[in-house]
Amino acid sequence: MVTDGPEHAAERALEIAAATHPDVDLSDLDAAVGDPAVGRELVPIVRAVPDPADEVRRSDVDRWGRSEHFRELTRRAFDPIYKYWFRVEWEGFEHLPEEGGALLVANHAGAIPPDAPSIMHGIEKDLGRPVYGLAENLFRTMPVVGTLWSRSGGVAAHPDNAYRLLHDEERLVLVFPEGTKGTGKHYRDRYRLRRFGRGGFVDIAMRAGVPVIPIAVMGAEETMPILFKSPRLAKMLNVPYFPVTANMLAFGPAGLVAYLPAKFRIRVLPPVSFDVPPNQERYSRSRVMEESERIRRMVQDALYDMLRTRRSVWFG
């Protein structure tokens, strides 16, 4: 272009520099660019030094498979459900740390559990930190679903994955120690927490030197209650459980994706820190199980407490 003089080049360079280096004060240079006399001599000195590896990237998928761009899209799609369907309300949100790694431990419920997306949505929206959700590696075997799960922050629940996220990258990591035992339980067992695995989450938190933040979720149990289960079909389809939910009875096949509009309340409990040195080879088994049981108790008690004051499943 003929009009593309040095001023324009300088302005463009400044724009790029401002976008890539938000922490650098560019106002002096900006003034210099504004002044035509200076602009002619002045070659912009603030040059972005981009990582050559990033320059050739075509997407923003990180090394865990999460894409912030994709999360942005899913957040936009999920926001109305979060706001108007589940009407999620948080208590104790201030317990979530602004920086540093932390292991978020929550109860798990609903045949296709809506608690994970709700917790991740709320934290990413209001705290502005990405949340990585640990889940069964069953997801990794599922075409399409597994890829979408991974792009939205899902990570296979391997102890080493959790350790790297918490210790090396200081991320927020969400885990449901009940696993499929929590989501696959009958409606009649609602809000009665299952076994917290083998306490592996405590072991990882100790090793990574991060606190555990217990989270109690009320409402997910009623969004997709399991009435019956078919162990035979589950075995045939190679899934942990095959539920017949109230939603299926009410809406037919659409019940697979249609949640009942139960009111969500999420209570974040004070962080639990373990005063043990990180990066040990092994931690006392009894200590791990004790802490695991204590955290489970905390979540269970918080749930009982919340249920005591709940007047309606649908209106809270």
Partner 1 sequence: MRVLVTGLSTYWGGRVAQALEKRSDVDVVVGVDTRDPRTQLERTEFVRTDSSHSILARIVRATQVDTIVHTHLVVDSTRATSRTLHEINVIGTMNLLAAASAAGSPVRKVVLKSSGLVYGANKADPYFFREDMQRTGPARTPVERSLLEAEAFVRDFADDNPHVNVSLLRFANVLGVDIDTPFTAALRQPVAPEILGFDPRLQFVHEDDVVDALMYAINNESPGVYNVGADGNLPWSEVCAILGKRRVALPFVLTNLAAEPARIFGLWDLPPEAMALLRFGRTIDNSRFKRAGFRYGYTTPTAVEAFAQALRLAGTIGDSRPSYRYEREVEDFFRHSPAVVRDPA
**In the complex, least distance from residue 121 CB atom to partner 1, rounded to whole angstroms:** 23
Of the candidate residues 137, 273, 279, 284, the single one contacting partner 1 (CB under 8 A): 137
Given 19, 28, 49, 57, the residue binding partner 1 (CB under 8 A)? 57
Regarding 64 and contact with partner 1 (CB under 8 A), the answer is yes
In terms of DSSP bridges, do strands 243-245 and 226-229 run parallel, antiparallel, or are they unpaired? Answer: antiparallel
* Beta strands 89-91; 226-229: pairing state: unpaired
Using DSSP, state whether 149 is helix, strand or coil. helix
Output DSSP code: residue 22.
Answer: T
The residue among 127 and 239 lying less far from partner 1, judged by its C-beta, is 239
- Give the one residue of 1, 2, 45, 56 binding partner 1; rule: CB under 8 A: 56
CB of 149 to partner 1, least distance (A): 11
> Which long-range contacts link 13-18 to residues 24+ away (Cβ below 8 Å)?
13/44, 13/46, 13/47, 14/44, 14/46, 16/48, 17/44, 17/46, 17/47, 17/48
- The alpha-helical segments, DSSP class H, found in 164-229 are 180-183, 200-208, 220-223
| Residue placing its CB nearer to partner 1 in the complex, 89 or 169 | 169
Would you put residue 238 in left (φ > 0), alpha (ψ -120 to 50) or beta? left
Taking the complex as a whole, the smallest distance from the CB of residue 311 to partner 1 amounts, in Å, to 44
200: left (phi over 0), alpha (psi -120 to 50) or beta: alpha
Residue 183 burial class via C-beta count within 10 angstroms: exposed 0-12, middle 13-18, buried 19 and up: buried
Closer to partner 1 at the Cβ: 59 or 286?
59
In the complex, the smallest distance separating the C-beta of residue 162 from partner 1, rounded to whole angstroms, is: 10
Using the rule CB under 8 A, which residue among 2, 53, 84, 308 binds partner 1?
Answer: 53
Q: Which of 83, 158, 297, 310 binds partner 1 (CB under 8 A)?
A: 158
> How many Å apart are CA 217 and CA 109, to the nearest integer?
9
User: Among 75, 95, 140, 190, which residue sits at the site for partner 1 (rule: CB under 8 A)?
Assistant: 140
Instruction: Candidates 87, 164, 190, 287: give the one binding partner 1 (CB under 8 A).
Output: 164
Residue 20 found at the interface with partner 1 (CB under 8 A): no
Can residue 201 be called a binding residue for partner 1 (CB under 8 A)? no
Site for partner 1 contains 280 (CB under 8 A): no
| CB nearer partner 1, residue 63 or residue 311 | 63
Q: Which residues bind partner 1 (CB under 8 A)?
A: 52-54, 56-59, 61, 63-65, 137-138, 140-147, 150, 155-156, 158, 160-161, 164
